[in-house]
Structure formats: C-alpha cells, structure tokens
Amino acid sequence: MSKRSARGGSRLAQVSAPEPEPELEVAELQLSSDEEYESGEESDLVSLSGGEDDAGVDREIEDAVLGYMAAAEKNRQDGGSASGSDDEGEHTDSGSGEEGEERSQEGGEGRQGAAEPQSANLHGAAAAAAVADDGDDDEQRPDDPASDSSEDERPNRNTIGDVPLVWYKDEEHVGYDAEGKKLARRPRRDRLEKHLAASDNIAKEMRTVYDEYNDEEIELSKEEMRMIQRIRAGQFPHVEVNPYEPEVDWFTRDVEVMPFNAAPEPKRRFVPSKWEEKKVVKLVRALRKGWIKRGQVEPEKPTAYLIWEDDGKTLDKTATGLTYIPAPKLKLPGHEESYNPAPEYLPTEEERNAEQLLDDEDRPQFVPTAYDCLRRVPAYANFIKERFERCLDLYLCPRTRRKRLIIEDPEVLVPKLPKPQDLQPFPTLLSVRYTGHSKVVRSVCPDPTGQWLLSGSDDGTVRLWEVRTGRCMQCWRLEEPVSCVAWCPSPGLSLLAAASGKRLLLLPSGVGNEEQEAATEAALAACTADSSGSSSDGIEDGQLVSWQRWQGGGEGQGGSSGSGRGSGSGGVVVLHKFGIKHVTWHARGDYFATTAPTGNTQAVLVNQLSKGVTQNPFRKNRGRVVRVLFHPSKPFFFVATQQNVRVYNLAKQALAKKLVSGSGVITSMAIHPTGDHLIVGSEDKRLCWFDLDLSAKPYRSLRYHQYAVRGAAFHRTYPLLASSSDDATVHVFHGMVYADLMTNPLIVPVKILRGHEMVDYQGVLDVAFHPTQPWIFTAGADATICLFVNP
C-alpha cells in the first residue's frame, strides 16, 4: 500500500510537473483519487514507445524506491523505532557501524521529518518528468544522475564512443569496435525477469538502475541512495557535514580554570602604553593652555524657538569664514494674484489705458484679472521668462557679503608724516635755466662756494656757469662727449676734473683768485713733472694711465674778445685705457677716483693729484663697476657694481660691508654728509636708502619714479635729498637724519620738480644741490640745466 501511494504520488507529480510546489494537502487528496487508472497509464506508455518502456519502467521503479524510502522514513519518525521491518534490517546490513549513530542524530531532528516526505516526493516528480521528456524526444541522456555516482569508481566501459544509442535501437548490436566488428547488445532482462527478480528481492531490485551509456545495470549502495536523497532535499550530500553545528565560544574573556594557553602574560599588559601616555600629555597640555575648557555648560536652547528665524537673515559665519547671503525670496502671492480677485483689486478701465501708454519696462508685469472659474485661467505667459530671470539673478548675485572696512577717517591709514609745507625750505620753483649746451647734459657740479656751476655734455664741452645770472663764463671744448665733471673740493685750488672718453682732464677753472690759480698751476705742474719727458701720446707698457699736459684752454663766453681770459696754462690729461664714466674726488681734494665700467680689472683707479700717481686698488672687480665714492670723513671707499655696493675699509684694506639693494642695475649713488647713510638709485625706478649702521638691506626703498633713476644727491647742509629719473622729473625728499642712534631717519617726499623734457627716453640725468642754499641743479637730456629754488 505504501508503494502504491508512493507511485500514485509520483504519477501526480508527473502530470503536474510544471507546477512549482504543490501543497501537501492537495498531494494527499490526489494520492487517493488516482489509484484506478494507474495501469491504463502504464499500458499507454508501453504502447506508445515499445522499446522505451523498459527504461520508463526502470525510472518508475526508481522513483517508487525513493518514494517508498521517504515514506518509510516518515513512518519511522512517526512511529519511533517500533516500526522496525526487514527493510530496516537491510539498512543495517549494508550500512556501516556509524550508521546507527547517524540515525540517532537524525532522530534528534524530529521537526524536520515532517517536511521530508514532501520534498522527496517533489524531487521524485522532477525526476519522473525528466523521464517523460526523454520519451517524447526519443533521446538518451548520457548524464544520468544515477550512473554519475558510479562513474567515479568504475572505468568507462563504453566502447562505441559518443554515439547516440537511438541509432541502434532496432538493431541487435549497439555499435562497432575498433576492428569494425559489431558489438552485440547485451541481453536485457525482460519484464518478467525483472518482476521475478523484484519479487525475490524487492529492495535490491529497487536499487538497481540501468546505465544506458555503458549498457549495464548498477546496484546502488545504501550510502549512494542516501546521498541522492540528501541532494534532492537540498542538503549537504555528505551525512557527516552538519551546517548547523552549535557554536562553541572557545576564546572568551572569562578566565578559564584551565586556559588553552599557558604562556605568561605579556609585558605590555601591565606596562602603561607609551602612546596612551603621549595622548594624555597632549590632553593635559591642552587643558593647561585652555584649549579645552572644562566645566563649561552649553547654554540651553529654549525649547520653543522660531523655526523661520533664519529667513532673510545672514548666518553669522560659515566654516570658511564667509558670510553667505540667502537667496532672496519671492514675494508670496496675495489677493491680486487670485484667479478671481475682489473687484477692488482689478484695474479700472482708466488704469488699464494708462498702463498701455507706458513703456514696456514701466508697465506692471502682472495685471490682476478675474475669471469665473479656475479652469478658465490661461497659462501664465511670462512664466518661462520670469523663471529664467530669477535663475539668472540668483546666478549672478554675489553669494558672499563682501566685508567692508569701515574707516571713518581714511587719514589714519596714511603714515604719520609731517606736511611738506612744514619742512621748508626745499626747491620748488624753476628760476634759472642755463642754456648753451647743444646735446644731452650728463653731469652737473657746483663749486664749493656755490658761485659757479660746472656741466658736462654730450656735445663735448664743459661749461662753467655763474649760478646767479645763468651766464656761461667758460667753455672747454673736448673732442669726446663729457660724461662727468667734478669740482676739486680743495679750498686752495681752483681745479675741476672732467671725464671725456678715455681722457680725464684736470682743468684750472680760471675763476679763482690769483693765489688759487697759482696753486692750481703748481699742482698741475707737479703732477706731470715725472712724465714730462715722455711726450708720447699712448700709455707706456706696465702703466695704468699716462699723465700729460694738455694745451687746449677754455674760452671765455660772450661778446668780449679782448679781455677773454687767456688761461695760459692748459690742464693735465690723464689718459686711461678705457672709457671713463665717472670721476669723484676725495673730500680733501688730493685723491680722485675714476670709474671705467668696461675696464674689467682696471675699472676703478685712484689717482693722487699731488704726486701724479695712479693705483689700481682692486685686482678683481665682481661685476661691472658703475660708481665709486669716497666716504666724506672716514677711510672708506664705496664701489657700486651693477648689483650691489661694496664698502671697503682703506685703512685695513678689507671689505667692510656689502650692501645689497635687491633691485635692478645701479645707476647712481650718493652719500650723506655725515657718512652714515647712502642712497642708491637703480634702473628699476627705485631709490634705496641704506643706513650703514643698520644692515646690508635698504632701510627704505623709495619707488616713485616711472622710469629708471639716473641721479641721486644729498644736500650738504639741509636735510634734503633728490633723485632724478628718465621720466624727466626730479623728486625731492626731506631726509632728516637724527644724531641719536635710536631715531630712524625721517624720509618725506616733498616735491616733484618738472622742468625738463624727455628726449630719446632720457630725462634728467644728473642732480646736484647747491652747497649753501636749498637749491637744486638738474641736468636734462633737453640740453639745458635748470635751477630750482625754494619759494
């Protein structure tokens, strides 16, 4: 009966194979109803496929076996161990010793038992459905699940190759061997034999399956059966694997009486952690410094607050420190925007006409209109436009509020400098213009008394002017452009030096008194006494320069012819090897230094007037020497290369200081009469003030000019300094130097002097202050010299 029911169940399953999972009750119901046409079904199958029916029957049997086993299992579980049968004995015979243990385990999981028959049925049904498919397609399935398991153990005995057996289904043979002989089909047991065998040992017969591929019958062992059963139940194939093993917490924090590990406690368990200590130190430090505040209670927020408080207000600060402005809100619609506003909101006829007359920009965007129902309201024509404009507004709106400095009095930002009018006197007014040169005036120099002015120009002349009247008193015509003139500061002499090309000329001025002129003549004669014998024009080998007499004289200016000063004695020419650009006198008037920027190792030469000797103090010059200068009182010597200024101590014969202007090419240099301050003009429009007591960096950098600075000068007595530039302006500064070392010099720009014109991008090339008055002489590229005086 159990077999029948199992078969019936399988049949039902075969019919309703496509259905996913029939319910248990339904299966039971049908189990009872389909008993009678079981045979008919069977015969039907036989009649349809005569050769195949054996296989189909085998399947059925197999299914039945499975179903039976499932039922037996169920019975066993239901009835406990009391339902022991011969099957049970069979089981125990074939199973190993461990089988009993396994079964007892299974008995433990009694709850799962209820579901097992169903799942067995279902899997059996699925297998049966597969057999039915085979029958329809007349196809042999090589991968039979039943035979698969035995294939691992037995070698493949198929000798005909991978040939569908259906080709030989009507033949006596099943294929050909290597020699081409027919392989005879193995004699099959017919149905009767099978039945007899089944009646002999139903259990064995039930476990026997036919392997079509290898053409043999295989009897499945009990383990294999169980394995199949488990696979079909969706469980692990191996019995011993238990996926639901109870977890044992081996490594707990509870100290066990018998620990797994007998190793002693590591040291770090009882030594304080270095890193923790560091962290603690950090925290302690932060507490001490007050970075972490203790005991501070957060002010309690009131329970009730305005939820729209932020509307329209800026938040105080964001994390980035920016103050954001929330997007402006749109005006909420009011009564006017209603689809059917009250009549007082509607514009009257006159208002509507008046609006029509307005410009498009002035006309209101929205005109209240009444509609009798909401459906009549048309689409808003300006919707896209307005929305676009709002988006545009929001996009273009600055989202951060610009922090604006609120300065009531902008004057407080300006450094406290005295007013220029309080710093009088300084030159402001153009009073005298000295005209006579025909080309760029390169250099000006007033005489120590302030009565005369010397100028040297590119037209090759040196001119002597009377300061007060602007009269040219003398003119020396030198062949080459005059780059620099300097008046000998010695009070006993009336001598001037002019640099013209490679020649340095020492000329008697002709305006001194008799004693001075005699002394000058004597000095000039003395300095050329040694070289008087050599009349050669060139420089002798091994000599730096050559001191020679020069017989060209100056000529008086003006209409007079008779009384022109017959400056009977010419000057002295000191012939250099390189073009001289600058000449400067020592304060005593005995030494003068010449600068020849192109003469690399002989760029700086110091000449002594009284002995007529020349020395080259520097064997090597780092960079192109632009200017040299004597300290007014101390034995210091300033050498300005294009990049920096070196201060040499002449007494120690050592480099005392190196001043770095940090600016462009140095063009000019002047020293304060006290000798403690130096100003340096450079081509990058800058005038740097160096405090020689302070540092090698500029104390102040004055950048006021628009073009390169060309000249710089200090006043001898007044606290004034000036710089001239190629922008044709002269800037006058008040530069007060205090005697105490504590007070820094006070530098105030007081005046911009304009009086020259730019010629070929050259403006004012030199400046010089009057020795006694607050006046300034400026040498311009427009071939004139200007005198600016105080108002």
Partner 1 sequence: MDATQQPDEAVQVAVSFFTRLSDDLRVPEAPIAVPANLARYGLSQIINHLLALDPARPFDFLINGELLRLSLQRHLLAQQISAEAVLRVEYVPAVLPPTPKQEHPHEDWVSAVAACGGGNPSSGAGQQQLLASGSYDGIVRLWSQGECCSSFAAHKGPVQAVAAVASSSPAAGTLLTAGNDGMVRLWRGVEAAAAGGAAPEPAALLKGHTDTVQAAAAAPDGNLCATGGWDNKLLLWRCGDELQAAAEAAADAEAGEAAAAASSRRKKRKAADGAAAVVAAQHEEAPQSELQAHSQCVSGISWASEGTLASCSWDHSVRMWDAVTGANLDTLNHNKALYCVAAAPRASGGSGLVAFGGAGRALGVWDCRVRSGEGLAVKACSSHTGWISALAWHPSSAHHVASASHDGAVKLWDLRAAIPLHTLEAHSDKVLCVGWLGSGMLASGGADCKLRTAVVELAGE
In the chain, the amino acid numbered 787 is L
Quote the least distance from Cβ 563 to partner 1, whole Å. Answer: 4
Beta carbon of residue 507, minimum distance to partner 1 (angstroms, whole number): 17
Instruction: Give the shortest CB-521-to-partner 1 separation in angstroms.
Output: 16
Q: Which two tokens stand for residue 418?
A: 């005295």
Secondary structure of residue 70 in the 3-state scheme: helix
| Angle ∠(55,60,63) on CA atoms, nearest 5 | 125
* Residue 510 CB, nearest approach to partner 1 (Å): 9
Residue 789 CB, shortest distance to partner 1, in Å, is 5
For residues 551 and 740, what is the distance between their CA atoms, to the nearest angstrom?
52
**Min separation Cβ 495 and partner 1, Å:** 15
The nearer residue to partner 1, 341 or 470, going by C-beta atoms, is 470
Nearer to partner 1, 30 or 451 (CB): 451
Nearest distance, CB of residue 717 and partner 1, angstroms: 11
Min dist. Cβ of residue 492 to partner 1 (A): 11
Token digits for 67? 């179903």
Q: Which residue has the tokens 């050769």?
A: 51
The smaller minimum CB distance to partner 1, of residues 365 and 561, is found at: 561
Least separation in angstroms between CB 603 and partner 1: 38
CA 427 to each of CA 351, 505, 753: distance values in angstroms, whole numbers, following the listed order: 73, 32, 8
Structural tokens at position 468 = 């007060």
- Return the number of the residue (261 or 563) whose C-beta is nearest partner 1: 563
C-alpha 277/C-alpha 283 separation (Å) is 10
Please report how close the Cβ of residue 517 comes to partner 1 at its closest, in angstroms.
10
Angstrom distances, CA of residue 510 to CA of 154, 556, 564, 589: 139, 10, 11, 17
Residue 466, burial from CB neighbour count under 10 angstroms (0-12, 13-18, 19+):
middle
Q: Count CB atoms within 10 A of the CB of residue 653.
A: 9
Nearer to partner 1, 565 or 657 (CB): 565
- Compute the radius of gyration of the chain from its Cα atoms: 61
| CB closer to partner 1 out of 470 and 632 | 470
Please tell me the distance from the alpha carbon of residue 553 to that of residue 456, in angstroms, as a whole number.
16
Nearer to partner 1, 535 or 561 (CB): 561
The secondary structure of 486-512 as a DSSP string is EE---TT--EEEEEETTEEEEEE-S-S
Q: Which single residue is written with the structure tokens 């007591």? A: 693
CA 512 to chain centre: 73
Shortest Cβ 412–partner 1 spacing (Å): 33
* CA atoms of 312 and 318, how far apart (whole Å): 16
Supply 172's token pair: 């006596």
Nearest distance, CB of residue 559 and partner 1, angstroms:
4
Say if residues 46 and 53 touch (Cβ distance below 8 Å): yes
For 626, the 3-state DSSP assignment is: strand
Q: How many residues does the chain have?
A: 791
- What is the residue whose two structure tokens read 């349809």? 48
Of 100 and 558, the one with the shorter C-beta distance to partner 1 is: 558
* Phi/psi of residue 492, nearest 5 degrees: -85, -10
Look-up of token digits 């014998």: 533
Residue 121 or 494: the one with the smaller Cβ distance to partner 1 is: 494
Place of tokens 């079509």: 212
The neighbouring-strand residues paired with 605 are 594
Phi/psi-derived region of residue 489, left when phi > 0, alpha when psi is between -120 and 50, beta in every other case: alpha
- In terms of CB distance, is 569 or 595 closer to partner 1? 569
Which residues are near partner 1 by CB under 8 A?
Answer: 424-425, 431-432, 449-451, 468-471, 473, 511-515, 558-563, 565, 772-773, 775, 789-791
Of 756 and 770, which CB lies nearer to partner 1 in the complex structure?
770
The amino acid at residue 402 is R
Residue 328 or 558: which CB sits closer to partner 1? 558
Quick one: 449 or 743, whose CB is closer to partner 1? 449
Q: Closest distance between partner 1 and the C-beta of residue 562, in Å?
A: 6
Whether residue 425 is preceded by a cis peptide bond, meaning omega within 30 degrees of 0, is: yes
